[in-house]
Amino acid sequence: MSKEKPLVIIHGWSDGFASFKRLAHIVEEKLQRKAKHINLADYISMDDEITFDDLVTAMMCAWRKHKLPEVPYSVDVIVHSTGGLIIRDWLVRYFRPDTSPVKNLLMLAPANFGSPLAHKGQAFYGRIIKGFRSKKMFQIGKKILQGLELASPYAWQLAMKDRFGSKSFYGPGKVLCTVLIGNTGYSGISAAANEDGADGTVRAASANMNCDLLEVDFSDDPLKPKVKSQTSKGTCAFAIIDKENHSTIVFKDGGPKNDITLEYILGALRVGDNEFSSWQKKLSKYTDGVVEQGVSDQSLHGFQNAVFFVHDQFKQHIKDYFVEFYTADKRQRWLTQYFYEDVIRNIHAYGDDNSFRSVYIDCTNLYSQLDKNWEHLNVSLTALPEFKQNKNVGYRTFTDEDIGSLVIPKGHIPRYFKSNRTLLVRMILRREQAEHVFQLNPL
């Protein structure tokens, strides 16, 4: 890697460039890169009127003002938390996959698919704890937090562009992206924010850029849904770093707590196209070891962030629905109960549009049942208005005679429920209308 290549560091929500000076100095020393090539990006994130559109546009202006190169693969970037969404949005708005100026992209604890704290940040205590320290009293960056909320349409739409678009931005020959996130929560009063499978702010499953898209379409024949699946295009490296939290991984609050953190940060900035596959395998092997240690410790279990988006054949969003996980065999109803009690750890409906929901799934607990006597897991849903009850319009979803299901054989469970990744699930229902809704009567 050229010592003359600029390095840009982009901070997260409610933070500032000063917090990253230590990280910048250490990286500068270890990589022997001159200080003038360390550019600490700073932006306003605590103004309620600021949007991601504003931030990305302002970033482009700042990039050009400081005359950072725009030729392909001429800059390296480190981002933290919200910075992950900003850099991704910036890339898809201003560049093509083959014209990206970024080569090595290191994401530290990025909120690529949201944070469980974002919707809480909009509540009263968020305005007091965070807003009191903002330049505008009691403002917390509401519109930014809406994009950071779990199951946000913004994160979904961004993934459709850069992870499931016609071409990939990431992988050998393109942007070499590495995602690192810790597995340890905060201490003290901040521990109130802790959640299993997260670093105190961001879930490991929501940080990983490698994701999948599943479409279950009931609109043509509700009893026999059409099922399509797709893996995100390109590939990124990913690792869960033991002992680090959302702050220590960027060398704040006494961090780093793990000697391997700096090694992996430097490795992410040094890796080249030819070594990237081996780099991915190295990080994957390390992560498997961290997860295996946590089999008996629920805080270290492997989790999946399943984001559901439900709409009808008219693309109208369906906001009142219930996702059903069950077994059709009445002798195996124990699995249905187990799934809701021990596999589903959290459900969050996006505040402004309940058609988007995040279901947090404990894959470790689910995998522990694979040696038991059962054959299939069914996934379906019930939605309102229910056609038979409304009698005018609605969805036929009330009984097994009305709607079918996605049938997952036990042997395919690891494919549909994968630890430390986001699965985007689009479900399409058929909205029906009774004949009397519109009639032509003879004279």
pLDDT in tens, 8-23: 888 755 455 677 888 9
**Mean pLDDT value across residues 391-418:** 96
Section 206-225 average pLDDT: 98
The two three-digit tokens of residue 126, written as one number: 């968020």
pLDDT-derived band at 194, boundaries 50, 70, 90: confident
d(CA 404, CA 326): 12
Mean pLDDT to the nearest integer, 267-282: 98
Confidence of residue 120 (pLDDT cuts 50, 70, 90): confident
Given this model, what pLDDT does residue 38 score?
A: 42
CATH number of 303-434: 2.60.40
Of 46-60, 138-152, 273-287, 344-358, the range with the lowest mean pLDDT is 138-152
Of the segments 59-68, 160-169, 296-305, which one has the largest average pLDDT value? Answer: 160-169
Q: Is the pLDDT of residue 301 over 60?
A: yes
Q: If pLDDT is split at 50, 70 and 90, which confidence band does 43 have?
A: low
What pLDDT shows up at residue 50? 84
Angstrom distance (rounded) from CA 43 to CA 254? 24
Q: Does residue 284 carry a pLDDT above 90?
A: yes
pLDDT at 42: 56
Domain with CATH 3.40.50.1820 in the chain: 7-210+229-297
Range list for CATH 2.60.40 in the chain = 303-434
- pLDDT, position 121: 57
Global pTM value:
0.93
| Phi/psi at 163 (5° precision) | -110, -25
Classify domain 7-210+229-297 by CATH architecture.
Answer: 3-Layer(aba) Sandwich (3.40)
Other CB atoms within 10 Å distance of the CB of residue 2? 10
- pLDDT for 90 beyond 80: yes
In angstroms, rounded to a whole number, what is the distance separating the alpha carbons of residues 10 and 20?
A: 9
How much of the chain exceeds pLDDT 70, in percent?
88
Nearest to 425 by CA among 304, 341, 328: 304
Tens digit of each residue's pLDDT (9 = 90 or more) over 370-385: 999 999 999 999 999 9
